[in-house]
Amino acid sequence: MAVTVEKLYELCEKLDSAKDKITEHQEEYQAIIAGTKGGSSEKRLAAQFIVRYFHRLPDQQLRALDALFELCEDDDVNIRKVVIKDLPGLCKGPGEASEPQHVDKVADVLTQLLQTEDSHEQTIVQNA
């Protein structure tokens, strides 16, 4: 079953209301990650929600990273731009704490993305 924009917002509300018990809602986050397989609107929204909860659901971080990295190869440049802007934030923990385990992967992907022919997209990658 495809995840719709409406369903993504419902999942977001559940995760927001979970507060300190968010780790009990792995399935909801997995469904958000599955939203990256939907249409353009679902992909953009899912990417934003993946980043929003990334640090609070550490058991899903590798799956989340893989989904975001796949979106970096999407045919839609607007989806790629949304994801590229958010990638550096995945290397920072809550607050200003860093999460060095993701730095190498994110840096590798950003380096590969520098080869894009779209000058605006290349600027976004450089700023990331």
Q: What is the pLDDT of residue 97?
A: 52
Q: Are 46 and 87 in contact (CB under 8 A)?
A: no
| Domains of the chain, earliest start first | 5-127 (1.25.10.10)
Q: What is the pLDDT of residue 4?
A: 96
pLDDT 10s digits, 42-70: 999 999 999 999 989 999 999 999 999 99
Classify each residue of 101-128 as buried b or exposed e, where b means 16 or more C-beta atoms within 10 Å of its C-beta. ebeebbeebbeebeebeeeebeebbeeb
Q: What is the pLDDT of residue 10?
A: 97
Q: What is the pLDDT of residue 3?
A: 92
List of the chain residues with pLDDT < 50: none
Q: What is the pLDDT of residue 94?
A: 62
